Amino acid sequence: MTTLNPDQINVILATDCGSTTTKAILIEKIDGQYRQTHRGEAPTTVEQPVADVTAGVINAATEVGELAGRRLVNEQGQIIRPAKPASGGQPPEGCDIYISTSSAGGGLQMLVTGVVREMTAASAKRAALGAGAIVMDTIASNDRRKPHEQIQRIRELRPDMILMSGGTDGGTIEHVVEIAELIAPAKPQPRFGTGYRMPVIYAGNKEAAKFVAETFDDSVDLTVVENIRPVLERENLGPARDQIHDVFLEHVMAHAPGYDKLIDWTDAPIMPTPGAVGDILQQIAKARGINVVGVDIGGATTDVFSVFDGPEGEPVFNRTVSANLGMSYSISNVCAEAGMPSVLRWVHFDMDERELRNRVKNKMIRPTTIPQTLEALVFEQAVSREALRLAYIQHREFATTLKGVQQQRTVGDTFSQQKSGQSIVDNMKLDLLVASGGVLSHAPRMEQTASMLIDAFEPEGVTELAKDSIFMMPHLGVLASVHSRAALEVFEKDCLIYLGTCVAAKGRTKPGKQCFSYEISGSTLNERGEMSFGDVRLFPLGLGETARITVEPARGFDVGGGPGKRVEREVRGGTVGLILDARGRPLILPEDRAECRRTVKEWSESLRLYEGSGSPRRR
Partner 1 sequence: MATAYTPGLQVTDCMRYRARRVLPIAGDVLVAVGDRVGARDVVAKTELPGDATPINLANQLSLMPADVPECMLKQEGDRVEVGDVLARTKGIFGMFKAEYVSKVSGVIESVSHVTGQVIIRGESIPVEVRAFAAGEVVEVMPGEGVIVEADVSFVQGIFGIGGEAFGPIVMACQDHTQEFSADLIRDDMRGAIVIGGARMPGETIRRAIDFGVAAVISGGMDDSDLKDVLGYDLGVAVTGTERIGITVIITEGFGEIAMAQKTFALLASRAGAEAAVNGATQIRAGVLRPEIVIPVDAGTTDTSTHASTGTHIASVLEPGTSVRIIRDPYFGVIGTVAGLPSEPMVLGSGSKARVLEVACESGEKLTVPRANVEIIGG
Partner 2 sequence: MQTRVLSEQVSVLRREWGVGSGEWAVAGCRSAPLVSSTSHLIFQISNSWRGVTIFALVFVLTLGQAAAQEPPRPVSDLRAVDHPNDVGESVDLSWTISPDDDPEADPQLVSEYRVERMTASDSDAVDDPEFLHEKEFVDIAKVGADEATFTDKGLKRTRTYLYRVIAVGPGGESPVVETETAVGPAMDWFRTDRGWLAVIVLLICGAVTAFIVAAKSGRELYIRKIPGLEAVDEAVGRATEMGRSCVFISGIQDINDIQTVAGITVLSRVASLTAEYGARLEVPTARSLVMTTARETVEASYLAEGRPDAYRQDDIYYLTDEQFGYAAAVTGMITREKPAACFYMGTFYAESLLLAETANAVGAIQVAGTAEPAQLPFFVAACDYTLIGEEFFAASAYLSGEPVQLGSLRGQDVGKLLVAALLVIGCGAATWATVSGSPQASAIVTFLQDNVLGSGGFLP
Task: List contacts with partner 1 (CB under 8 A).
Answer: 19-20, 47, 105-106, 147-148, 151-152, 173-174, 177-178, 181-182, 184-187, 189, 194, 211, 215, 300, 324, 329-330, 332-333, 335-337, 354-355, 357-377, 442-445, 610, 612-614, 617-619
Rounded Cα–Cα distance for residues 436 and 154 (Å)? 33
Contact of residue 152 among partner 1, partner 2, none (CB under 5-8 Å per partner type) = partner 1
The CB-of-305 to partner 1 minimum distance in angstroms stands at 22
- The site map against partner 2 for 193-212 (x = CB under 8 A) is ------------x-------
Contact of residue 185 among partner 2, partner 1, none (CB under 5-8 Å per partner type) = partner 1
Contacts of 388 (CB under 8 A, 6+ apart): 295, 297, 302, 452, 453, 456, 457
Rounded Cα–Cα distance for residues 581 and 563 (Å)? 16
Q: Does 588 bind partner 2 (CB under 8 A)?
A: no
Phi first, then psi, for residue 268 (nearest 5°) are -140, 150
The CB-of-224 to partner 2 minimum distance in angstroms stands at 18
The edge-to-edge listing of strands for the beta sheet with 302-309 is 315-322, 302-309, 292-297, 432-436, 461-468, 496-504, 577-581, 536-539
Contact of residue 422 among partner 2, partner 1, none (CB under 5-8 Å per partner type) = none
Phi first, then psi, for residue 277 (nearest 5°) are -60, -45
Rounded Cα–Cα distance for residues 115 and 113 (Å)? 7
8 A C-beta contact, residue 515 and residue 553: yes
Where does this chain touch partner 2 (CB under 8 A) — which range of 12-20, 70-78, 411-419, 485-493? 411-419
Contact of residue 406 among partner 1, partner 2, none (CB under 5-8 Å per partner type) = partner 2
Q: Does 586 bind partner 2 (CB under 8 A)?
A: no
Contact of residue 87 among partner 1, partner 2, none (CB under 5-8 Å per partner type) = none
The CB-of-372 to partner 1 minimum distance in angstroms stands at 5
Residues making up the chain, counted from first to last:
619
Rounded Cα–Cα distance for residues 448 and 453 (Å)? 9
Q: Kindly tell me which residue out of 2, 7, 76, 146 binds partner 2, with binding defined by CB under 8 A.
A: 146
* CA atoms in the 13 A half-sphere facing the CB of 274: 33
The CB-of-508 to partner 2 minimum distance in angstroms stands at 18
Q: Kindly tell me which residue out of 115, 249, 338, 388 binds partner 2, with binding defined by CB under 8 A.
A: 115
Q: Does 411 bind partner 2 (CB under 8 A)?
A: yes
3-state secondary structure of 329: coil
The CB-of-595 to partner 2 minimum distance in angstroms stands at 25
Where does this chain touch partner 2 (CB under 8 A) — which range of 5-13, 33-41, 127-135, 405-413? 405-413
Rounded Cα–Cα distance for residues 316 and 334 (Å)? 29
Contact of residue 228 among partner 1, partner 2, none (CB under 5-8 Å per partner type) = none
Size of the site for partner 2 (CB under 8 A): 37
Q: Kindly tell me which residue out of 35, 84, 191, 403 binds partner 2, with binding defined by CB under 8 A.
A: 403
Between 373 and 420, name the residue whose CB sits nearer to partner 2.
420
Contact of residue 3 among partner 2, partner 1, none (CB under 5-8 Å per partner type) = none
> What part of residues 126-145 is at the interface with partner 2 (CB under 8 A)?
141-142, 144
* C-alpha pair distances (Å), 437 with each of 6, 238, 270, 443: 31, 28, 22, 10
The CB-of-613 to partner 1 minimum distance in angstroms stands at 4
Distance of CA 553 to the CA centre of its chain: 32
Q: Kindly tell me which residue out of 4, 213, 232, 587 binds partner 2, with binding defined by CB under 8 A.
A: 232
Q: Does 437 bind partner 2 (CB under 8 A)?
A: no
Between 3 and 372, name the residue whose CB sits nearer to partner 1.
372
Contacts of 333 (CB under 8 A, 6+ apart): 324, 325, 326
Between 8 and 422, name the residue whose CB sits nearer to partner 2.
422
Q: Kindly tell me which residue out of 23, 81, 125, 229 binds partner 2, with binding defined by CB under 8 A.
A: 229
Q: Does 406 bind partner 2 (CB under 8 A)?
A: yes
The CB-of-368 to partner 1 minimum distance in angstroms stands at 5
The CB-of-143 to partner 1 minimum distance in angstroms stands at 15
The CB-of-558 to partner 1 minimum distance in angstroms stands at 36
Rounded Cα–Cα distance for residues 66 and 68 (Å)? 5
Contacts of 355 (CB under 8 A, 6+ apart): none
For CA atoms 389, 472, 328, 395, the dihedral sign is negative
Instruction: For residue 92, give the DSSP letter.
Output: P
Between 376 and 393, name the residue whose CB sits nearer to partner 2.
393
Q: Does 230 bind partner 2 (CB under 8 A)?
A: no
8 A C-beta contact, residue 175 and residue 208: no
The edge-to-edge listing of strands for the beta sheet with 220-224 is 133-140, 108-114, 161-164, 198-202, 220-224
The CB-of-463 to partner 1 minimum distance in angstroms stands at 25
Distance of CA 195 to the CA centre of its chain: 34
Residue 223, beta-bridge partner list:
201
8 A C-beta contact, residue 175 and residue 182: no
Q: Does 172 bind partner 2 (CB under 8 A)?
A: yes
Rounded Cα–Cα distance for residues 158 and 516 (Å)? 55
Q: Given the rule CB under 8 A, which residues bind partner 2?
A: 115-116, 118-120, 141-142, 144, 146, 166-168, 170-175, 178, 205, 229, 232, 403-404, 406-407, 409-411, 413-415, 417-421
